Amino acid sequence: MSPESAQAYFVEPLAERHDRARFRCGVAALDRYFRLQVGQDARRRVASPYVLMHRPDDRIAGYYTLSNAGIELAELPAALVRKLPRYHQIPATLLGRLAVDWNHRGRGVGEFLLGDALRRALRGSETTAAFAVIVEAKDDSAERFYLKFGFVPVLGQTHRLFLPMKTIEQSFS
């Protein structure tokens, strides 16, 4: 996304005033979740949803959710496990969902959302420990998207990937 077009967008926490009904990404499960469940998840504190607003028309261009999670040591590559404490599970941040409205595809909005989510996860890891960000890609196309940004497949699980916080920190420094 060019710096000029990036100025047309901003990310903020989901609020009651946001019109979720008009959002369409084309993936029924993601659209349904955003219209019907995301507000409940936020109120129950099981997910923190963020929306990407398009300034010119004040419409939602995309969204993502973050929550605390854990990852089993057995799911990580052996070379990485050697450097970690021998806990059964280590803390992580789950990037639960990420979706871009049809009207904003092809503009770098997905990358913009991912960058914002990774920055928030990194900042959050300073107050609540998290070793990595994990994602569960919906399909092969989504998996390719995350792989392009350095995510690594979790051992023994299809479409589940992780990106160590150390890698995220290095990419922003």
Mean pLDDT by 10 residues, the chain (173 residues): 71 96 94 96 97 92 96 80 80 96 93 97 94 94 95 89 95 88
Q: What angle do CA 3, 95, 44 make, to 5 degrees?
A: 120
Reported CATH class of domain 3-172? alpha beta
Give the pLDDT of residue 55.
Answer: 87
Kindly report the pTM of this predicted structure. 0.91
| Domain map (residue ranges) of the chain | 3-172
Per-residue pLDDT at 118: 98
The DSSP secondary structure of 102-163, one letter per residue, reads GGGTTTTHHHHHHHHHHHHHHHHTTTS--SEEEEE-SSHHHHHHHHHTT-EEPTT-TTEEEE
Per-residue pLDDT, 43: 96
Six-digit token pair at 118? 């990774």
Structure confidence at residue 4 (pLDDT): 55
